[in-house]
Amino acid sequence: MRQNHKAGEKLFVDYCGPTMNIVDASTGEYRTAQVFVAVMGASNYTYAEATYSQKLEDWVMSHARCFEFLGGVPELVIPDNLKSAVTKPCRYEPDLNPTYQQLATHYNTVIVPARPYKPKDKAKAEVGVQIVERWIMARLRNESFFSLRQLNLKIQKLLVDLNQRKMKKHPGSRLSQFESIDKPALKPLPTQAYSYTLVKQVSVHIDYHVEVEKHYYSVPHTLIKQKLEAHATGQLVTLYHQGVQVAVHPRSHREGAHTTLDLHMPIAHQKQQQWTPQRFERWAAKFGGSTEQFVMQLMQAKKHPEQSYRACMGLLSLGKKFTDQRLEAACHRALATGVTRVKQVKNILEKGLDKQPLPQAQGDLLQDIDHKNIRGNNYYH
């Protein structure tokens, strides 16, 4: 059945089957480039560009550049069912990739994927792909390109020639048809330029972080095990729960690392985050000099001070049970007798040894004994 297309209504998009080669100047190796094609329904006005892949970011940004090329936005975009466009193909209700849908929302257009295995739904794209392959790619087949930009500059030059070429079955050229039919009916471009935004569903882990592109971002701990929607631009990661923004972080590309806000932590975690060696020393100094010295001894015994934080907290908490004065006395006794562990200090307090005088240092018991059977030191020299 012949399809009649309204002015400015539909833009058909697809990729060419053949690819182009780009030469790495340093190694001489080839890298393939995909060719994106878009065709306006009423005028056949054509856009084409090369990208390194058909992945989501390349796919979405090709649309954005196409809209800029057209100088406006059509009412509908008709793609094929590639993964970058449709996450779950369906004849009746296909599921769009959320990032692709976000692009459509930004440009105030609607995406209607063609039915699976129904090439006639996107006949304009099929024909447009053939024309680009014949009039652009075939003419470049014997040329060498050393960058994607160099290839696209050549494609743009040939694209101008293609759109200005007179058509056999329609009056004028694609360009003249576009300017008289499609262009006046296009919706205006948004005032704010489009910035690529990765949109994905994420789950909140038990540590109140979500994973976006192998980096972990914190969210309020009350959302543990909930499903969120992450919007990641080049600068920011914004997280939404049921349409409500719950967290914003600067974008980080450090794989495996964490970006955490203190206010997202449970109260207990916030308090632990605030501990530093200096804070423990100030806390211990309130009990007395011996307690402060014992805490410093605990931290110096470890490779990293944080390894001793629990021991320090355990020691200082003894002041609540046995009073500050007794803890100070117990630490004084511990330092004098070579005690190094918190358990030993606790034993001193439990047995009341902190209330007893320190044992006197004993010298050499044989040093001052005078007896005829004791020869003395000089006998052996």
pLDDT, tens digit, for every residue of 261-302?
A: 888 888 766 666 667 788 888 888 999 999 999 999 988 887
Based on the fold, state whether residues 151 and 166 are members of the same structural domain.
yes
pLDDT of residue 158: 94
Among the candidates 125, 150, 185, a domain finishes at 185
All residue ranges of the chain with pLDDT < 50 are 1
DSSP per-residue codes, 11-38: EEEEE-SS-EEEE-TTT--EEEEEEEEE
Domain range holding 234? 198-271
Could you list the beta-strand ranges (E) of the chain: 10-15, 20-23, 30-40, 46-51, 76-78, 86-88, 95-96, 110-111, 198-203, 209-212, 215-218, 227-232, 236-241, 244-250, 258-259
**Which of 271, 304, 333 is the last residue in one of the domains?**
271
Do 36 and 118 fall within a single domain?
yes
Q: How many residues does the chain have?
A: 381
Residue 353 backbone phi and psi in degrees, to 5: -70, -20
- Cα angle for residues 54, 203, 108 (degrees, 5° grid): 50
Is residue 141 in some structural domain? yes
Contact residues for 123 (Cβ-Cβ < 8 A; gap 6+): 3
- Structural domain includes residue 137: yes
**pLDDT tens digits for range 25-76:** 888 889 999 999 999 988 999 999 999 999 999 999 999 999 999 999 999 9
Kindly state whether residue 371 falls inside one of the protein's structural domains.
no
What is the rounded CA–CA span in Å between residue 238 and residue 182? Answer: 37
Share in percent of the chain as helix, strand, coil (round to 5): 40, 20, 40
Cβ distance 179 to 235 under 8 Å? no
Among the three residues 239, 271, 303, which one is the final residue of a domain in this structure? 271
Cβ neighbours of 343 (radius 10 Å):
11
Domain check: are 175 and 41 in the same one?
Answer: yes
178 and 69 within one domain: yes
* Same domain, residue pair 279 and 224: no
Q: How many domains is the chain built from?
A: 3
Q: Is the domain of 283 the same as that of 258?
A: no
Which one-letter DSSP state was computed for residue 182?
A: I
Please tell me the distance from the alpha carbon of residue 16 to that of residue 285, in angstroms, as a whole number: 75
- 136 with 164, same domain: the answer is yes
The verdict on 267 and 320 lying in the same domain is: no
C-alpha–C-alpha distance, residues 12 and 168, integer Å = 21
pLDDT of 1: 47
Tell whether 289 is covered by a domain. Answer: yes
Do 258 and 313 lie in one domain? The reply is no
Beta pairing class for 76-78 and 110-111:
parallel
- Residue 363, in any domain of the structure: no
Please indicate, yes or no, if residue 373 is contained in any of the structural domains. Answer: no
Which of these, 77, 96, 106, lies nearest to 8 by C-alpha position? 77
In sequence order, the 6+-apart residues with CB closer than 8 A to the CB of 252 are 215, 259
**β partners of residue 24:** none
In a domain, 365, yes or no: no
Furthest CA-CA distance within the chain: 137
pLDDT at 309: 79
